[in-house]
């Protein structure tokens, strides 16, 4: 399996090299040259598999033997042994043909654990084999950072620097990152928003001259293909639990950087019978505007009660565009350069038609989101986190096929967002798990940095071990 850049001007790489490269040298994102496809019969034969066994079936074609099968199985087992629920990704029914896929049972209480704990183990395996040290530089809108730190903090071959927007993540999200005091972990609070953090990371990948000559950057954001690959699995897991491939299933996905829902799109291409994928957004609704009105234009980023979705430039949307434009790297390069220059991106009629055949979208503001949390609790006794509430309401407003079950991805534990819980009118905040009960008593360590790439890069250079 070879991996190619969405902008068509970088050489094809192997699986391991694409993982270590993160962003392609031409500024594009790596994708598989071909998407593996499974027959209906093959998918049906997986119905009784555990999550770990299914993960091997889904991911091994992308790895294509670069990691021996026994080693890959061992990495998968190690990854999901840290999850607190035996089902790994349990389904909870909340209405007729409506289900919540709980993706918050990993060590940092968010869906990012599914990919980042696996990426951390895989990265450690590859770096030890190559006897190589690397620098991880990542941006987070809240959940990626803690999951990446948890996945990589024990690695002797990694120094990890995570940028989060100063005062724009929840206190729980911040403390999950900043209370990890290993010598190879550095948290930087950037005086800007998530897009500023993400742009700084991408620019640094484009020019790594600030690093020592024996080091390279590795990505933990969803620009890293391994992140997407690992997230495909839970779509198959949920679909099989609802009798796929013998019936179709829809998914509603709280969406910021487009990686999670792009994994669902790939699951559909691989053979899972997905009817619709719902792009659920908050007030930062560039993806909703794109699908509904072909308006993919930058607006001022809004700080919301669903902070993990406070993103305007969705990196993984480029991977989708590459597919919509029949893998025409030149066309994508032109689109992205124009977007960078003008802040606007207009899809061709054919690309928009293709997108609308799979996706629908919806937007919720903070007021409506908190009302959904309250009403859902009153109706079901189930407490939604703010992002999941957006996903549930988006599904209910856009999907009209009562005969097709819809799975709403629950992307984080509600205890991570106490402010949203209070504003939804709940007097008692949900408790953190026992192993995290002392989170607010733990010592924090982080550095507030200006929104200046030279200053941040110098900080990284000065702190590499």
Q: Which residues are identified as catalytic?
A: 112
Q: 249 has which bridge partners?
A: 274
Q: Which of 253, 286, 280 is nearest to 268 (CA)?
A: 253
Q: Which of 74, 100, 78 is nearest to 89 (CA)?
A: 100
Q: Which residue has the tokens 């030890």?
A: 128
Give the Cα separation of 186 and 137 in Å (integer). 10
Phi, psi values for residue 433, rounded to 5°: -55, 155
Phi, psi values for residue 322, rounded to 5°: -55, -40
Give the Cα separation of 417 and 387 in Å (integer). 10
CB atoms within 10 A of CB 437: 10
CB atoms within 10 A of CB 20: 20
CA distances, 54 to each of 47, 49, 73, 245 (Å): 9, 6, 10, 14
| Burial tier of 230 (Cβ tally within 10 Å: 0-12, 13-18, 19+) | buried
Give the Cα separation of 330 and 372 in Å (integer). 43
Q: Which of 159, 167, 123, 156 is nearest to 138 (CA)?
A: 159
Query: 344, 296 in Cβ contact below 8 A?
Result: yes
Q: By three-state DSSP, how is residue 282 classified?
A: coil
Measure CA of the first residue to CA of the last residue in the chain; give whole Å: 34
């Amino acid at each position: 399996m070879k991996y190619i850049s969405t902008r068509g001007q970088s050489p094809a790489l192997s699986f391991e090299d694409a993982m270590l490269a993160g962003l392609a040298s031409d500024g594009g994102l790596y994708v598989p040259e071909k998407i593996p496809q499974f027959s209906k019969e093959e998918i049906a034969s997986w119905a009784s598999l555990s999550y770990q066994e299914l993960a091997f079936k889904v991911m091994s074609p992308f790895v294509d033997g670069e990691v021996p099968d026994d080693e890959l199985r061992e990495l998968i087992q190690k990854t999901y042994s840290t999850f607190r629920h035996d089902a790994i990704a349990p389904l909870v029914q909340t209405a007729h043909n409506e289900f919540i896929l709980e993706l918050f049972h990993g060590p940092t209480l968010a869906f990012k654990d599914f990919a980042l704990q696996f990426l951390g183990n895989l990265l450690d395996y590859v770096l030890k084999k190559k006897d190589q040290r690397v620098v991880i530089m990542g941006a987070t809108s809240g959940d990626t950072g803690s999951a990446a730190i948890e996945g990589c903090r024990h690695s002797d071959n990694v120094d990890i620097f995570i940028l989060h927007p100063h005062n724009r993540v929840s206190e729980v999200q911040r403390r999950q990152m900043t209370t990890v005091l290993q010598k190879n972990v550095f948290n930087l609070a950037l005086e800007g928003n998530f897009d500023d953090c993400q742009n700084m990371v991408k620019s640094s990948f484009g020019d790594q001259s600030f690093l020592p000559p024996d080091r390279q950057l590795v990505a933990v954001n969803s620009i890293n293909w391994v992140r997407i690959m690992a997230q495909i699995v839970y779509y198959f897991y949920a679909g099989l639990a609802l009798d796929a491939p013998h019936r179709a299933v829809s998914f509603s996905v709280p969406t910021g950087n487009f990686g999670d829902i792009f994994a669902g799109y790939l699951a559909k291409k691989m053979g899972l019978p997905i009817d619709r994928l719902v792009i659920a957004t908050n007030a930062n609704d560039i993806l909703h505007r794109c699908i509904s009105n072909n308006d993919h234009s930058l607006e001022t980023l809004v700080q919301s009660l669903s902070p993990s979705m406070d993103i305007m430039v969705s990196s993984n949307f480029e991977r989708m565009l590459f597919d919509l434009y029949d893998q025409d790297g030149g066309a994508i390069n032109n689109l992205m350069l124009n977007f960078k220059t003008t802040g606007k991106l207009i899809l061709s009629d054919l690309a928009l038609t293709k997108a609308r055949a799979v996706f629908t979208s919806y937007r919720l503001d903070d007021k409506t989101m908190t009302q959904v949390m309250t009403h859902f609790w009153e109706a079901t006794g189930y407490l939604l986190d703010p992002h999941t509430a957006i996903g549930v309401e988006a599904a209910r407003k856009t999907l009209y096929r009562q005969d097709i079950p819809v799975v709403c991805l629950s992307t984080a534990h509600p205890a991570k967002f106490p402010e949203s819980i209070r504003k939804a009118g709940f007097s008692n905040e949900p408790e953190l798990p026992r192993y995290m009960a002392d989170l607010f008593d733990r010592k924090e360590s982080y550095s507030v940095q200006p929104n200046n790439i030279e200053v941040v890069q110098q900080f990284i250079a000065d702190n590499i071990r």
